[in-house]
Structure 1
Amino acid sequence: MNVFAYLFQDWKANRKNIKGQMVLFMFRLVQVINRWMLLKVIFFLYLMFYRFFVEWVLGIELPRKLTAGKNLIIYHGQALVVNQGVVLGDNCVLRNSVTIGHKKLADGTFTGCPRIGNNVDIGANVCIIGDVVIGDNVIIGAGAVVIKDIPANSIAVGNPARVLENKTTDAGIL
């Protein structure tokens, strides 16, 4: 994928969402810059601008070291916090007030970060905490607190999150 296509890979998925398009373009640009030390030196001011504008002004924490698949969608990104160790699959949807990251254990160490599959729709005010795996084609309802793995093709809701429905049948995916 060329640099131009890489920078605009989320553009179509965030159609009619100018804020999402802008934030994800800036995010992909800092990811490109982060690959080479020379670019980090040359674009140091841009890296600082990204951190100030996206994190402090818009309230969206998407670290430059975050691993995110293509077609990431951000709806109403205010208060969105994603840890840099998180892995997001393709076609994921993140809404406002979502927190995704590790948790601190009693002994002062930290757990691993969540790994989120492809086609995952994360509702508003969701917390995904700890070394959990979210399968492909999962919907996580608004306000859920995910502290355990969620299998693929599921709908999860509640605090703590529980699988409400499995979206598969013997004949295959519905």
Structure 2
Amino acid sequence: MGVINYIFQDKQANIANPTKGKYVVVLFRISQLIVKRKITKILFFWYLLFYRVVVEYFMCVELSWHTAIGPNFAIWHGTGLVIHPETTIGSNCNIRQCTTVGVKQIGNGLYGNAPKIGNFVDIGCNTVIIGDLVIGDYVAIGAGSVVVKPIESNAVVAGNPAKFIRLLNH
């Protein structure tokens, strides 16, 4: 995949996105590209600093360039978004504002693993996904949900704690 194609691999998912999230995704992909290549990391450290200041501090989106995210990723609005650097997110996923995807403390000051999110997952606003869990493919998570257990594929879940609502028709 060429540099331009890599940077814009999420373009299709963000065509109808009128929010700043589509710009955050492009800036994220550029930072990922720089970090993957050691020489560019040295030459473009200024960009990584720019990314940290603009995206994390001004736009309030904590999205590390170390996070593994598949193509066609969309962030809707984005403010208050926190995604742990060790999180894995599949392709064709949507995530909305005020969402946290992270680890939980397992005792003695130690933390567990980050969530693994499958393909075609739609995450509503104000959602919390915490802990060493797997979210399957084709999942819709309702706004305001707290996910602390794995979610099977083809499911719609919502609530605190998130509970199965119905199968997803796709």
For the superposition of Structure 1 and Structure 2, which TM-score range results when normalised by the shorter chain? Answer: over 0.9
> Aligned to 1:48, what secondary structure does the other structure show?
helix
Q: Which position in structure 2 is the counterpart of 1:170?
A: none
Matches within 5 A, 1:1-174: 1-16=1-16, 17=18, 19-167=20-168
Q: TM-score, normalised by structure 1?
A: 0.94
Output one character per residue of 1:101-150: Cα deviation in whole Å (capped at 9) or x when no partner. 11112221111100000000000000000001000000000000000000
> Which structure 2 residue ranges, 5 or more long, are not aligned?
none
> Aligned to 1:165, what secondary structure does the other structure show?
strand
Contact 2:19–2:76 (CA under 8 A) maintained in structure 1: no
Query: Could you tell me which amino acid in structure 1 is paired with residue 25 of structure 2?
Result: L
Q: Which shows bigger deviation, 16-25 or 140-149?
A: 16-25
**Distance in 2, Cα, partners of 1:157 & 1:33:** 37
Q: Report the structure number with the largest CA radius of gyration.
A: 1
In 2 relative to 1, CA 145–18 (structure 1 residues): closer, same or farther, beyond 3 Å?
A: closer
Q: TM-score, normalised by structure 2?
A: 0.96
Q: How many residues align?
A: 169
**Distance in 2, Cα, partners of 1:75 & 1:37:** 31
> Aligned to 2:138, what secondary structure does the other structure show?
coil
Query: Could you tell me which amino acid in structure 2 is paired with residue 41 of structure 1?
Result: I
Find runs of 4+ consecutive structure 1 residues off by over 3 angstroms: none
Query: Could you tell me which amino acid in structure 2 is paired with residue 148 of structure 1?
Result: K
Q: Per-residue deviation at 1:13?
A: 1.1
**Distance in 1, Cα, partners of 2:139 & 2:19:** 26
> Which structure 1 residue ranges, 5 or more long, are not aligned?
168-172
Output one character per residue of 1:46-73: Cα deviation in whole Å (capped at 9) or x when no partner. 1000000000000011101000000001
% identity of equivalent residues? 43
